Amino acid sequence: MNSELFPTRRADGSFSVAAKFASPLASAGDEVNVFLAEWLKRKTSNGIDLNKDFIASPHVEIDPSGSISVVLDAKGGSEFWKDWLVELTGLLTKSIDTLSFLGFFDRVSGKPHPASLTD
């Protein structure tokens, strides 16, 4: 049995996780950015204070291979980071049909969450 916990915490308790996606379209990163901005605006307008959970606003990163990551940098005491990560992942794959979910990744250790990998 693996005793390591996901995600790995920094010394201050904070952590960074990402939902990683692939798409055959070069424009998919832009679509994800627009979607994320709208999602953040919707949450804020509904009175949800994401600053309670996050060090910085969730953001999109595109790596050299073209994969797209939605990154959440969370505070050590974050209560809802899993909820937001799962919600975003589901909404993105439903809203942008060219996205394929690749898995959740621990950005501190650099390791994937084994149960989330699709390949």
Question: Has residue 119 been placed in a domain?
Answer: no
DSSP string, 10-24: PTTS-EEEEEEEE-S
Res 1: pLDDT: 39
Question: Has residue 34 been placed in a domain?
Answer: yes
Q: How many domains does the chain fold into?
A: 1
Question: Has residue 23 been placed in a domain?
Answer: yes
Q: How far is CA 13 from the centre of its chain?
A: 18
**pLDDT per residue as tens digits for the range 24-43:** 998 999 999 999 999 999 99
- Does this model's pTM top 0.85? yes
Percent of the chain with pLDDT over 90: 84
82 lies in which domain range? 15-112
Query: Do the Cβ atoms of 15 and 74 come closer than 8 Å?
Result: yes
Question: Has residue 10 been placed in a domain?
Answer: no
Q: Does the pLDDT at position 3 exceed 50?
A: no
Say which CATH number the domain at 20 has. 3.30.70.420
Q: Could you tell me which of 37, 2, 21 has the C-alpha nearest to residue 97?
A: 21
